[in-house]
Amino acid sequence: MQNLWLIPALPFIGFLINGIFGRKLPKVAINAIAVLSVVLSFGLVVGVGLSSDWGTNPVHQHYFTWIKSGAFEVGWDFAVDKLTMIMLMIVTGIGSLIHIYATGYMAHEEGYYRFFAYLNLFMFFMLNLVLAANYLILFVGWEGVGLCSYLLIGFYFVKKSATTAGNKAFIVNRIGDFGFSLAMFLIVVSFGTLDFAKVFEAAPGKSVEVLTAIAMLMLLGATGKSAQIPLYVWLPDAMEGPTPVSALIHAATMVTAGVYMCSRSAAIFTHAPAAMELVAIIGLLTAVFAATIGMTQYDIKKVFAYSTVSQLGYMFLGVGVGAFSAGVWHLMTHAFFKALLFLGAGSVIHACHGEQDMRHMGGLRKYAPWTMGTLACASLAIAGFPFTSGFFSKDAILGAAFAHAPWMFWVGVITAGMTAFYVWRAFWMTFWGEYKGHGHPHESPWSMLGPLVVLAFLSIAGGFLFNVPKILESMFPIKEVEGEMTLTAISVTFGLLGIGISYYMYVVNTELPGKIANSLGGFYRLVYDKYRVDEAYDTAVVQPLVEGSTTVLWHGVDQGVIDGIVNGVGHQSKGIGGVLRRIQSGNIRSYATWVAVGAVALLIALGLGGGVR
């Protein structure tokens, strides 16, 4: 039971075996190793849960001291409490399902073993992140999942767009990581330690300015990892990676690392109100922003990508208004239904032989009924249909938002309506009407459908099964919200409205979307172009950097100064040598003269040096 290290170690062993020997192993072996390592990890997690009463009795394990410098010490520590248990179950559980799904989805892909090796490596790092008992180990996991994200986004490395997207993800994440590193430095300076327990114990005693600074820097890191404004731009491009990657990393686990980190650091955030406010506003803004973009996109994966950004915004909203457990609850339910949405999209893409544009789909309910059914469950959950898992978690957040500031509630509710709209728009476009594509769509194999069914069940029933605020009550006390029933009714209404409008626009009156788009003209195009944020970043940040690097650093410093110095030294030596060469004139008399001059110089030197007394 006490071997917490086994939990990440098993996927790591899977990575090593598949990475080193995978080329020669048969597919069955690769499958077995990859899937088993994660499933066994899940089993271990369950075992830890049972033995520690699901985190009520915290477990802390110290493995070795990594850094010891004076009074500052950091060890490789793992700890399990209730929050960790929730995260562990999500990561290993959904991870296992996606691994099983991937065996079916990637069956015909090149580099099969490489994919599973990377996926296992990702699991290793993510589990490190979640199990960490101090900020440094968390950062190790943080960076590691960023690396795996880069590797997996650029998995189809022969495609330039994929490698570019991988680069973009890594670089944008790096900016966030910079903020996180600064936060860690500040913590070391203020607290003298990176250990969670010690930091949170001492947090109330520090000044608000310091805590706000730390929290804001952590927020910067979280916006990078969890794709919030301003560092969200990598997530839509990350859809270049295979769909299981999008499901696992960019829906269920990696992007939630930011929310997890903020929840874990609740002690710091609660004492820095300004930072919390900023978190909430950024979350809300991102939610609205991404939802509007999601309403216009035609690529099914892009719709869900923007949906992820938007839902992450909800989680940050929850954290920002102080409802940490609500944020974590939404994290969990979002993991269920978003993973399901992505896997289902993958199933759809698989059915249409690689087609991702929804305008070339339609009428798939005849060909892929199981996919349709599971995706319907997910869409209901995300729209907040009453009593689905999404309904509970979203209402918890919106209620807390209302208690904090009513305007946030209203914006959030409108966004909920937009969420319902775009998800069901995607659903109707994909499954209703007539099939507009080429070829013969077909249902996916059971290796893919199995996990879909499991996730569908969790999306519907997850809210009842796991009442996260109740679970985390000891860590984050539950606050009662007045008028909760009214608020719930309002948000449900907006959700149903969204479903209804989308049904009307995409099933009943299919001309309407085109007419609305035309009448909105320029504004529609702006939203369709994702508000041209990427272009803005390019002009404002990327181009100047590249220009500056080329002219200043490359031509100026490298070629001019450094090469100039090095070449210049050679040049000068040549010049001086050229001058000195004139002494060797071949004329004996001039040699004689130089001898005499040298003798004079020696005499003077001796005289000055007191050689003559």
Q: Using CB under 8 A as the criterion, which residues of the chain lie in contact with another protein when the complex forms?
A: 584-590, 592-594, 596-597, 599-600, 603-604, 607, 612-613
Nearer to another protein, 354 or 586 (CB): 586
Task: Kindly write down the DSSP assignment for every residue of 17-31, as one continuous string.
Answer: HHHHHTTTS-HHHHH
CB of 584 to another protein, least distance (A): 7
CB of 561 to another protein, least distance (A): 36
Nearer to another protein, 568 or 598 (CB): 598
- For strand 59-69 and strand 72-80, is the pairing parallel, antiparallel, or unpaired? antiparallel
CB 319 within 8 A of CB 434: no
Cα–Cα distance measured from residue 342 to residue 301, given in angstroms and rounded to the nearest whole number = 7
Task: Kindly write down the DSSP assignment for every residue of 532-581, as one continuous string.
Answer: GHHHHHIIIIIHHHHHHIIIIIIIIIIIIIIHHHHHHHHHHHHHHHHHHG
CB of 171 to another protein, least distance (A): 59
Nearer to another protein, 465 or 604 (CB): 604
Q: Which of 492, 34, 409, 10 is nearest to 248 (CA)?
A: 34
Nearer to another protein, 565 or 599 (CB): 599
**Contact residues for 514 (Cβ-Cβ < 8 A; gap 6+):** none
Cα–Cα distances (Å) from 556 to 27, 330, 545, 564, 570, in that order, read 53, 51, 14, 10, 19
Cα–Cα distance measured from residue 294 to residue 330, given in angstroms and rounded to the nearest whole number = 19
Nearer to another protein, 20 or 596 (CB): 596
Cα–Cα distance measured from residue 126 to residue 98, given in angstroms and rounded to the nearest whole number = 15
- Alpha carbon of residue 252 to chain centroid: 10
Cα–Cα distance measured from residue 215 to residue 129, given in angstroms and rounded to the nearest whole number = 19
Q: Which two tokens stand for residue 78?
A: 């793992």
Cα–Cα distance measured from residue 107 to residue 100, given in angstroms and rounded to the nearest whole number = 11
Nearer to another protein, 500 or 607 (CB): 607
Nearer to another protein, 562 or 601 (CB): 601
Angle at 138 (CA atoms; ends 136, 144), nearest 5 degrees: 105
CB of 595 to another protein, least distance (A): 9
Q: Which two tokens stand for residue 479?
A: 């606050």
CB of 556 to another protein, least distance (A): 40
Nearer to another protein, 509 or 593 (CB): 593
CB of 574 to another protein, least distance (A): 17
CB of 570 to another protein, least distance (A): 22
Helix/strand/coil for 387: coil
CB of 589 to another protein, least distance (A): 4
CB of 599 to another protein, least distance (A): 7
Helix/strand/coil for 612: coil
Place of tokens 């508000």: 531
Nearer to another protein, 477 or 598 (CB): 598
CB of 579 to another protein, least distance (A): 14
Nearer to another protein, 516 or 592 (CB): 592
